[in-house]
Amino acid sequence: MRFVKLAAVMIVAVILVGCSVGFPVSRSVIGSPPPDQARLVVYRPSGAMLMWRSFNVDVNGASTCDLPRGGGFAKDVSSGQVTVAVSLWQMPGKGSLSWTAEPGKIYYVRVRVSGEDSSEVKGGLFGLGSEAAAGDAAQFALDFTDETTTIASGVELSVANGKFGC
């Protein structure tokens, strides 16, 4: 019986370790973009809404990342028009944010479920949405934040092939 309990604890520990996304976001991890590009830091705070679901993130129309709760990624883009769009295959609508990126700048984009910070949130653990967003095509809210807010969120940036990104 003791062996079964130990095995169960070990399985849970391995699963939880697998949930780790990457490195805690910090100034040194974010770094600086190449001189002719801009750097995006797209992140999702650890909110209660849709906590077990990863959002599909597109940058300039290209699938870029599946963004888990408490995760994020950094991506360098060419200067000019940039659009970050977020969707979830089970939910209608997309949220997006567009702007003109300037070379050498870092843009911090926070992704949340619409209404997540309000008292109208419904669904909790599985996150069915909010009353404010239930009839709205835009189920997701994207907004700009700053470095201090991003670092304070405690998200972890993912790494792929030795570079930051998904």
Q: What is the pLDDT of residues 120-161, one digit of tens each?
A: 444 444 444 444 444 444 578 899 999 999 888 888 887 654
> What is the pTM (predicted TM-score) of this model?
0.71
Number of domains in the chain: 1
pLDDT digits over 94-127, tens only?
889 999 999 999 999 999 887 665 444 444 444 4
- Specify the long-range contacts of residues 162-165, CB closer than 8 Å, at least 24 apart: 164/22, 164/29, 164/73, 164/74, 164/75, 165/64, 165/65, 165/73, 165/74, 165/75
68 found inside a domain = yes
86 found inside a domain = yes
Range of the domain at 98: 23-164
17 found inside a domain = no
158 found inside a domain = yes
